[in-house]
Structures are given as C-alpha cells and as structure tokens.
Structure 1
C-alpha cells in the first residue's frame, strides 16, 4: 500500500493518481476515472474532480493508496 501525504485539506483524484506515479499524465488519469477503473473507499467512482481527503483509500490496477 502506498501512503500519500496530502498537503492541505484534499487533493483532486486525477492529481493523486499522477502524483502517486500510477499514471503518466493528467489526461490518462481522466480516462481511467471515466472508464471506472478507480475504486474510492470500496466503490467505483467516476468523478474526476473528486476531493480525496485524509483517511480515504483509492485502488487502481492492484495498487492501493491511503491518503494520510
């Protein structure tokens, strides 16, 4: 599991995927979110601008990111 420290109150989903190194570009992040490849706190989520906060868990292609 990747632990990602967020600066501030939240990080948008597409920025988190890119910052964690799970996608190469913001455009790629938008596509994988639109196609339902991202699980947010146990459920598929299609919101690209979702505000991911401390304590949230994001899963993508077998990788888990816990926001701390």
Structure 2
C-alpha cells in the first residue's frame, strides 16, 4: 500500500489521483468510475469529486491501494 500526502484536511478524488501521478488528467477518472474500479474505505465510489480526507484508503482495482496522509 502506497501513501499520497496532502497538505489540507480534504481533497477531491480526481485531484488526489492527479497528485499521486495515478492519472495524467482529471478527465481520465471517468473510465475508472464507469468500470466500477474505485473504492474509498471499501465502498464503491461513483463520484469523481468525492471528498477524500486524511486517513482514507483509496483502492483502484488493477492499479493499487493508496492511503491518504498529511504532508
């Protein structure tokens, strides 16, 4: 499990994936959402702008699992 550090208490899912270099652009998240491959804290996520907080775990099936930590 890798960690992605953020400087704030919260970040949007699409911004987090760009910050972590998982996606090159925020628009790419649409495909992962349509394929139902993104889970936040074990729950299927269907919103690209879902608020992600420090301590949350984001799993992308076939890509990896990421813990959000404070920078």
TM-score by length of 1: 0.86
Cα shift at 1:30: 3.0
- Equivalent in the alignment of 2:66: 65
Cα shift at 1:33: 2.3
Q: Structure 2 stretches of 5 or more lacking a match? A: none
Partner SS, residue 6 of structure 2 = coil
Cα shift at 1:54: 0.7
TM-score by length of 2: 0.82
Give deviations 1:14-36, integer Å, cap 9, x for gaps.
Answer: 11111111122111023312432
RMSD: 1.4
Partner SS, residue 17 of structure 2 = helix
**Which is richer in strand?**
2
Number of aligned pairs? 68
Q: Structure 1 stretches of 5 or more lacking a match? A: none
